[in-house]
Homo-oligomer: A and B are copies of this chain.
Amino acid sequence: MTNPHFKELRHAYGFDDVAIVPGDVTINPEQTSVELKIGNITLDIPILAAAMDGVTDVKAAISMGKLGGLAVLNLEGIHTRYENPDKVLEEITSAPQANVTGVLQKLYSAPIQDDLVAERVREIKKGGVACGVSVTPANTKRLAPIVAEAGADILFVQSTVTTARHVSRSTRGLIFEELCKSLGIPVVVGNCVSYSACLSLMKTGVSGVMVGVGPGAACTSRSVLGIGVPQITATMDSAAARDAYYEETGRYVPIITDGGFHRGGEICKAIAAGADGVMLGSVFAQAEDSPGKGYHWGMSHPHPALPRGTRIKVGTTGTLEQILYGPTSVTDGSQNLVGALKTAMGLCGASDISEMHNADMVIAPSIVTEGKFWQFAQGQVSK
């Protein structure tokens, strides 16, 4: 097919499609460093909790900070719409499943209060940890100065897809160049999934880029909009943009892969694919000490005629500390994420995240084979 009219399709890979090849030299896991630097902030572990109300509240942000990571607070959720978010959380988690969409729509229609925005930042800082907060592009001009003044350490500007340029007849869009120059704290922007989109964002001066759009085949972006790129390819392409940008400018802009994580192995793969850090949602919604107390919900898609997120019961699996550091009694990889990452790095001979980027990977999809299927069909399934 050399006909120029034919479109080309490239293969993309997700977590389940790949595996890491151990190295030629191994290293003691205790000698590995998993630090992540975003602008002037250094985190002990490269793990962030998502800016979702079932995942991060002030308390979780402080716990997470003390454990070495960063839980990002959503500044457009209930914490900035209500004086007393705990009561609202209680209302959400106790609503009968049949009514929950209505309850969510009502609760999230209260206005965002500027003074609560500042207050939440100060509460987190009072806990003695770095404060990361998240806004959408539409509210950035209004809220960014407030959070910077209140002492936040990192501002995340996130939407399903965020690009360096947004065309709109109605309003003058957000200009990241101006935001980064004026704000005085690191700005992390996303999400994006391609080399060129990531490179464009880095050129605006941001301090970090979030990676991940519609990573799973079953996710809403994929079924409703057809849009998405599996996370390994999205991460590899964005990492290539980061490395090209670094080679050209000498400025290293970390990328953080966001979405689709359930187990330690997936974190190891994202890092091996080039991620500097990872952001997890549902895994932390499952923490006993999370605000969602076993429930997870999002306000994902803003199109007025498309449905808003619903509440999902994810259950609880252990404390935030157990999830990050163990000890664990389960073998499915959902706990001791830091231990898993350090062990994998040891087996790859990688002493830090940057060396782990050089680990070899193979395409090794975990398809369901006929053999497995027959076993199952005949009631012989056991893991």
Contact = CB atoms under 8 A, between A and B. Distances in A.
A347 B224 CA distance: 13
Contacts of A307: 328-331
A378 B1 CA distance: 41
A172 interface: no
B364 A19 contact: no
Contact of A326 (B240, B244, B305, B351): B305
Contacts of A376: 373, 377
Q: Taking the full assembly, how many copies of this chain does it contain?
A: 4
Contacts of A106: none
Interface in A355-383: 360-374, 376-378, 381-383
A87 interface: no
A366 B366 contact: no
Given A25-B166, A218-B371, A240-B5, A223 B363 contact: no
Contacts of A230: 19, 362, 364
Contact of A343 (B26, B303, B372): B303
Interface string A1-39: 101011101111110101111111111110100000000
A382 B332 CA distance: 17
Contacts of A266: 226
A99 to B, nearest CB: 13
Contacts of A329: 101, 307
B373 A168 contact: no
A337 to B, nearest CB: 10
Contacts of A339: 303, 305-306
Contact of A6 (B9, B236, B268): B236
Interface string A139-175: 0000000000000000000001111111111100000
23 contacts: A3-B240, A7-B240, A16-B217, A19-B214, A19-B226, A20-B226, A20-B227, A22-B213, A24-B200, A25-B165, A28-B169, A29-B303, A217-B369, A222-B366, A225-B343, A225-B347, A227-B268, A303-B336, A306-B340, A307-B331, A313-B382, A365-B367, A368-B368
Interface of A: 1, 3, 5-7, 9-14, 16, 18-29, 31, 101, 160-170, 192-197, 200, 213-214, 217-218, 220, 222-230, 233, 236-237, 239-241, 243-244, 247, 263-269, 272-274, 301, 303-307, 310, 312-313, 325-333, 336, 339-340, 343-344, 347-349, 351, 360-374, 376-378, 381-383
